[in-house]
Homo-oligomer: A and B are copies of this chain.
Amino acid sequence: MARQATGAAHRVTVAAETLRDEKFNARRIELAEAALETLGELGFARTSLREIAQNSAFTHGVFHYYFSDKLDLICCCVRHYKAKCVTRYDEVVTTARSRDELTEGFLAKLAATLRDEARMHRLWYDLRSQAMFEPAFRKDVLEIDKSLEAMIWRIATRYAELGNRKPASSPAALYALFDGLFQSALLRHLASDEKAVPDLLDEVRRLLPTIC
């Protein structure tokens, strides 16, 4: 393609290219979303491109057309997953007018996401573990981890603010605590432990006043 076009012709070329790029990217996300279905069901280790294609409306060739290889696809999946996750509690944080309101709103969302999106969450933990082996995943995973930490920190600071206090520990420690609790609860929940969710809620309810 004529990269050296100038003036109006150049602008038209550029516009057409960005349009195509956007379309291309939208398709990538469509495919990534379909792949997430299967990945959430089977996990990274057991998921093949063919299985992904079979559980979707696409053929396995399309995936190779839009992604350079399997890692590229899964990186795209992880990155896309991030955007949906990080804003989960933002509405609760901004609308809550008291500590109790924030607590109950947070706990409700926590329980709902643990129950309804267990497959996506277990995929996240799977991929985070994969990042310990596969360098190609690390950048994205570390970035998502940072933004999850920031998400927890927003909740904590708002909770503290509503009590005219400041959080008693660092963002890293707070995130580690909630992440650890959630991970443990998720495993128990997936193992059909009926008490997993209520136990998590009890624990968090007890913990919140002590950390802020």
This chain: copies in complex: 2
* Chain B residues near A175 (CB-CB < 8 A): 180, 184
Q: Which residues of B contact A5 (CB under 8 A)?
A: none
Asked if B184 and A172 sit within 8 Å, CB to CB, the answer is yes
Q: Which chain B residues lie closer than 8 Å to A14 at the CB level?
A: none
Closest Cβ of chain B to A39, distance in Å, is 10
Sampled A-B contacts (7; CB under 8 Å)? A45-B133, A125-B132, A135-B191, A138-B191, A172-B203, A175-B180, A176-B179
Instruction: Choose from B145, B178, B187 the contact partner of A128 (Cβ within 8 Å).
Output: B187
| Per-residue interface assignment for chain A, residues 25 to 58, with 1 indicating a CB less than 8 Å from any chain B CB and 0 otherwise | 0000000000000000011111000000000000
Please state if B132 and A129 are interface contacts (CB–CB under 8 Å): no
Q: How far is the CB of A192 from the nearest CB of chain B, in Å?
A: 9
